[in-house]
Chain A
Amino acid sequence: MKTSFAALERQRLARCRLLAELLYRRLPRAGGWSHCGIQLGTEPTSLALLALRSSRSPPVSIEELAPLFACQRPNGLWSAVRDRDTEANFWASAIALNTLMILGVASEMFVGALDRLLHCKPLESSWLVRLKFRIADRQVRLDPTKFGWPWISNTMSWVEPTSMVLIALERAKNLTVIHDDQLWYRLNLGTDMLLDRACPDGGWNAGNGIVYGAPLRPHLDATALALAALRFHYHLPTVNSSLTWMLSQIDCPSAYSLAWLILSATAYKDCRSDVLPVLHTARERLAALVEEPEQIQDTSTIALAALALDPETADNPLEVRSCAH
């Protein structure tokens, strides 16, 4: 199935409008982007930099990256927003690191953060917490010996931050900017955690497959992220059935989830023949959903949609291209 010229043109126009909106929303003084309002945020800034970069020539200057570094904490990790009192956020850190690596920034500028990310431990790494799950807290079905990454310190690991960190570490491994004995161990453990937390019928939500005996339904964005992180495990039945579920969700009425779906499915286009037709349809639908970008509240959604509508993008934050497994 080929996309018609008219459809491609609609997508190109939609993407142009999204990029124009991104430029309009750039914060005047800080220079970065906010989810909504004027508070500089790591995620919207990272995604906007990637979306705008794919329409321009590299390399990105250090000045352009200044807003992203403005959200960096003294310990090297990133907080979700720029505020000196906010703490490190592992999702934000992983998305910032992915951005810096995609943009080809010198590794000296972020290798410390990668190291911190690698050695971060969630609550389940404590034997006491594991004991609690084995004895007292048995209503949530999970194996606490399999852990990934939390959103913030002193909390449990969850699907979205774990997926984004796994993608960042995989990218760092391919770029050979990280040489740590822990790398393989954490990559494998994080992968096991994602597989353990899958919903019974495929797909993922934040990380609770079954609670009080009731199976919970998967969420499209979480599934897209987990599938992108498990790209090199596509032969596993859980991954395959989850991909099938995700590809069946293209009638989703939300641009945010649909954009994640497209970015994730793009990474699988060489694995399964049914991916490409879905991508064509999903892009067409996304272009229709984002016809009025000024009506979209969250800047991250605008940047994600712009990335998802670029069929040639090399800056897919969810895709690690070279296969090392």
Chain B
Amino acid sequence: MRALMNRRIFGGSLLAGTGVLAVRRLCSTGRLRDRRKSQSRVAILNANSYDGPLDRLLLDGLRLFDLDLRGKRVLLKPNLVEYIAGADVNTDPRLVGAAATTLLSMGAKSVLVGEGPGHQRDTFLVLAESGLEKELQSRRVRFIDLNRDEIRQVALKRSFTGLDKLWLPRTVLTSDVVVSMPKVKTHHWAGVTLSMKNLFGVVPGVAYGWPKNLLHCKGIERSILDINAAIPAHFVIADGIIGMEGNGPLHGSPRNLGRIVLADDPVAADFVCTRLMGLDPLRVNYLAQAAEFLGNGTPDRIGQLAEPMLVPQEPFAVLPEFAHLRI
């Protein structure tokens, strides 16, 4: 068993290392643009329940970032996958609602919530069953089905999947600020699903089908890199109040993490969330590669705000294939 584990850790590290070297080479030869900021900022907020004053908490947290949202059109992209009674699968509606209200109060011209679920074609059924429809109605916030929005072609200058273009929804392309709102979860194909993987949901089903199988065929991790290079999220509000461990993203177990993570860099956000899960982000292939050009992963380039980073004593449970991720 121990030998098997060592082999997995070695194999996983080798795979991540090879990918990282390839990305470094592309950056050094100018074939991949290095988009990393000199300094990213991440704030960890303590929140033990969805019933608390989330609006107030978010407002205090967002003020740490000096965001200028005046006159901007904001798109919130929660993780709305499927409704499974009693399971914490989706970004909690109360957090999405609180984020919408808070961003409006900070001067945003408009806040729209948009999602394109990958398997469930009836987006408005998930919206109703999850409780998000009711939450948004009560706050007078509009929702758009990104699977059926008008689509536009976006050329991929440098592609990890081999695709030369991506079809993307007009709403995403015309928003001034895209906020990724993932649920902190493990993922049976990608290891973890956080703010970068969450952007799979902006790829329109009308062009790619349900599920967005072309992206799976081209490699989930490579697709995550392409999507995030094409339309990077400007900000992240991650729902880590209750996360999911084990067989995520649908059939895992709930895990009380008691955190909301805010960040102005999706890579930095995912690095911090992964560490909060007790997992090593550098062993998640796509995160290790993203940290070479899309955003910051190293602690010296991530300014930590609000609460300190505390790695849990017991890491999130993962499937055996991802045992090497545990710190």
Residue numbers of A with Cβ under 8 A of B are 34-39, 41, 43, 80-81, 83, 85-86, 89, 91, 123, 139, 150-152, 154-156, 158, 160-161, 205-206, 208, 211-214, 216-217, 219-222, 252-257, 297-298, 300-301
Contact = CB atoms under 8 A, between A and B. Distances in A.
Given A85-B153, A214-B251, A123 B217 contact: yes
Contact of B151 (A81, A123, A220, A252): A81
B255 interface: no
Given A212-B251, A298-B145, A206 B211 contact: yes
Contacts of A256: 122, 124-125
A36 B250 CA distance: 29
A151 B144 contact: no
Contact of B121 (A139, A156, A160): A160
Interface residues of B, number: 34
Contact of A221 (B121, B153, B209, B251): B121
A283 to B, nearest CB: 18
Interface in B119-158: 119-122, 124-125, 128-129, 144-145, 148-151, 153
Contacts of B188: 139, 211-212
Nearest to B147: A35
Q: 5 closest pairs, A vs B, by CB?
A: A151-B209, A254-B125, A35-B148, A214-B251, A39-B150
B206 A41 contact: yes
Nearest to A301: B124
A81 B214 contact: no
Q: Which of A38, A155, A156 has the most CB of B within 10 A?
A: A155
Contact of A206 (B119, B148, B150, B251): B119
B129 A253 contact: yes
A83 B153 contact: yes
A253 B247 contact: no
B48 interface: no
Contact of A35 (B82, B206, B208, B211): B206
Contacts of B211: 158, 206
B319 A151 contact: no
A89 B151 CA distance: 14
Given A38-B150, A86-B167, A297-B144, A158 B209 contact: yes
A94 to B, nearest CB: 13
8 contacts: A34-B150, A85-B165, A139-B188, A156-B213, A206-B211, A214-B250, A220-B122, A300-B148
B217 A154 contact: yes
Contacts of A206: 119, 121, 210-211
A256 B210 CA distance: 16
Given A36-B149, A39-B150, A81-B206, A217 B84 contact: yes
Contacts of A255: 124
Given A139-B188, A151-B209, A253-B125, 6 more contacts: A81-B206, A85-B165, A91-B209, A151-B210, A254-B125, A257-B122
B22 interface: no
A253 B128 contact: yes
Interface in B174-223: 188, 206-211, 213-214, 217
A253 B151 CA distance: 28
B171 to A, nearest CB: 9
A15 B214 CA distance: 38
A192 B211 CA distance: 20
Contacts of A221: 121-122
Contacts of B153: 83, 85
